[in-house]
Chain A
């Protein structure tokens, strides 16, 4: 602690000598933080706010502590959503589908142990798939045929559900969970898992996990990891800047300020498309001008995506594709290079042409309409989602230039989700979740197919086709793709789907959302890099965070 600093303190808080002394001790102990070394915990902010929930129940999907998923409980395999590589085995070793896709045989690694020392066998895996919400109504049977083999039998082909079954079903120990009847209210404060870390201590401000000595690959090199609760991005940014924390995944508009002293590095991945979700189908009960594909097409060419990316997303977002395939990961599934990018610059002439051809005329107020009445569309975005709110402001302004009236409306989160699910909206900024594997199937199935939607006023039972998009060609091709592993057939099916959705635009792509990660490369090595993207370096991203942690080593 520099003397000048001490003096400054003294002047500022002459109020009490005791407080001053305490301040200095506080500072002194904080000073250790920057020294690195293997005994120091790696400090992470995974997005938890204080008070952190003392909940390590892997079935509390939304409210359990982040490290429940991945570092403590594991799935069978890890699907790296950044690459087209095959899945990496965790508990699992190999898996195989039967010819028709209804029988899934999983081999797990031998001699594994739970963190309490009990053996982890295929029985635990079989128990997991038969437990509580993991039970799939389409599952016929699940059986552990020997200590390392599990056979899952389904009534329908499950080719496309591999990432769900194998990549996000958290394997739990039978000897503990067989006694837990009500998994919904269980908080599981002393979790016994198979992952690389075990819970060491918990407080509502932070929790600490330590290396699991029973871990199948041996205890990881980073011995302790502390996950802290922070309530605002600003605070986290400040802590990162002052060297208090080592790893965060959050949006920072000005990353250079963080990385300039060389301690922290950043990696920016763009995956999930931000779209303008439209209530598109008149048959299913949607109302408003956006039900006309011509209007959607005009908006699609009228907006200035490069300005939106620069201003609303601080230039960190990626270019969205109207095919909804993630490029370059899903390159092989893209049917035509024309569908690689949505238009980046506005083309008002083209928008005019589309609207006029569809019978719209510009009124005296400068806005398009039919029968002398200009139309207007409400565009929702949830309050406090700054990038969305900003994008909505820009879209509204840009559309006005093309004579399309879009009213920017921010609503609270509660007023956002319910109307979206029920179809009581015209247009909303909405994030489509990218498929976890290098195959856009789940996007087409969950967001574009008729079984995934519902009439306006009802919520979709299966899937999230909030756009109320219903197209028989898409439905048929989704079915074709689900029932095969033959790439040529799949590719043909996807090509037809892509043509339909890029023309109809039930979701108008805006940008690919940025996910920024910041991590301490001075004190720890082994982080993912542009060259070696073995996992997304995002601490909130369940299994990926565990994979990253096992790769890390304290710097010498």
Chain B
């Protein structure tokens, strides 16, 4: 194995950053099989971005002004007292951003978790049981997969949000998260099914089946633990999907107007003519924060991908080693591989 090769980016010295639950699990899981791979630059960058934004969303709301305090002057540019200025109603943009981040993370995590749960239900069960169960579940998954997501979300949201008697719930971020969750699982299910199917054939899984273990126990004890990196990747994917989805829905006026999220902030800025008033401090930060959060999560996914699929990591390293060798005059052949 290539664990002793030079890592892509030199490992940074100093304290290791706080890592999210998912990545700790990946690392642990990894440890069982081989020595701990060094944290790549991508993973580190991703984790730092996500952790900083998550902490911002979790902690900052305790310290900032009430995000719906209109006593400030309207449309103040960034400056004293208001790091990011104020909105048309005099709301502090920084405070809104803190609460909005919390709101978006909430939508993302709830929707992502729900989607993951459904993906496990459809993907892992299909992959594990095979046969008719597989056929039916796969058919359902594939149908969900080809039906375009956003239009479906829009249609469902339009009906659900206009149901009489829902009260404030109709416009809550929880409902939006649920709608995004139940429409966003199909892609993950396909991936999970394929892996579960191959795991089923492994000897140790076959052994426990032959030993008469109940299917659910086999799934939970033998299969799911091996899927952890993949599950984490799918969860992250689901979170990104949901955060972007929420922003899109909000722009279309179908967002959780009852709560503050990055999407509703953008929608407020848009309808409040932030662009026309040249209030960039109101319009740019929420969009940039969404993009940054998405990037951080994608980077983590990237790193997970490299763990799950070692070729992605090893091949570039091999290529690099070879070039290094070429430079040092230890070339095997001009184009030959030494990996």
Contact = CB atoms under 8 A, between A and B. Distances in A.
- Chains A and B touch each other in the complex, with CB atoms below 8 Å apart: yes
Interface of A: 233-234, 237, 252-254, 257, 307, 310-312, 314, 383-384, 386, 389-390, 393-394, 397, 407, 409-412, 414-415
A394 B71 CA distance: 10
Contacts of A383: 171, 253, 257
B258 A412 contact: no
Given A307-B70, A311-B74, A397-B68, A414 B162 contact: yes
A415 B88 contact: no
Contacts of B275: 234
Given A257-B276, A394-B89, A412-B162, A386 B68 contact: no
Contacts of B74: 310-311
A254 B273 contact: yes
A314 B90 CA distance: 11
Nearest to B171: A410
B277 interface: yes
Given A254-B273, A390-B89, A414-B162, A311 B168 contact: no
The 8 A-B residue pairs whose C-beta atoms are closest, nearest first, are A386-B271, A254-B277, A253-B273, A311-B89, A410-B257, A384-B253, A311-B74, A237-B276
B278 A257 contact: yes
B270 interface: yes
A409 B167 CA distance: 9
B70 A393 contact: yes
B162 A234 contact: no
Contacts of B90: 311
Nearest to A253: B273
Given A253-B277, A254-B276, A310-B74, A390 B258 contact: no
Contact of B70 (A237, A314, A394, A412): A394
Contacts of B183: none
A252 B278 CA distance: 12
B168 A253 contact: no
Given A252-B276, A383-B171, A409-B258, 9 more contacts: A233-B273, A252-B273, A254-B276, A254-B278, A257-B278, A311-B74, A311-B90, A384-B253, A409-B171
B77 interface: no
A409 B164 contact: no
A124 to B, nearest CB: 44
Nearest to B88: A311
Contacts of A307: 70
Given A253-B277, A312-B89, A397-B68, A415 B164 contact: yes
B289 to A, nearest CB: 21
Nearest to B66: A397
Nearest to B255: A383
Contacts of B168: 407, 409
Interface of B: 68-70, 74, 88-90, 161-162, 164, 167-168, 170-171, 253, 257-258, 270-273, 275-278
Interface of B is mostly: loop
Contact of A234 (B164, B167, B253, B273): B273
B271 A410 contact: no
17 contacts: A234-B273, A237-B273, A237-B276, A253-B88, A254-B276, A311-B88, A384-B253, A386-B271, A389-B257, A397-B68, A407-B168, A409-B171, A409-B258, A410-B171, A410-B257, A411-B170, A412-B161
A128 B275 CA distance: 48
Contacts of B167: 409
B273 A393 contact: no
A383 B258 CA distance: 11
A346 to B, nearest CB: 12
A237 B162 CA distance: 31
A386 B276 contact: no
A147 to B, nearest CB: 53
A3 to B, nearest CB: 28
B69 to A, nearest CB: 8
B222 to A, nearest CB: 49
Contacts of A384: 253, 271
Nearest to A419: B164
A417 to B, nearest CB: 12
Contacts of A314: 88
Contacts of A257: 276-278
A390 B88 contact: yes
A234 B277 contact: no
Nearest to B72: A311
Given A253-B88, A253-B277, A410-B257, A393 B68 contact: yes
A383 B69 CA distance: 21
A397 B71 CA distance: 10
Contacts of B161: 412
B49 to A, nearest CB: 29
Contacts of A390: 88-89, 272
Given A307-B70, A412-B162, A393 B89 contact: yes
Contacts of A397: 68-70
A307 B90 CA distance: 10
Nearest to A390: B89
Contacts of B164: 415
Contact of A311 (B68, B70, B271, B278): B70
Contacts of A254: 273, 276-278
A407 B258 CA distance: 11
A312 B88 CA distance: 7
Contacts of A253: 88, 272-273, 276-277
A326 to B, nearest CB: 27
A414 B253 CA distance: 14
Nearest to A232: B270
Nearest to A315: B74
Contacts of B171: 383, 409-411
A312 B167 CA distance: 24
A415 B162 CA distance: 7
A394 B88 CA distance: 12
Contacts of B162: 412, 414-415
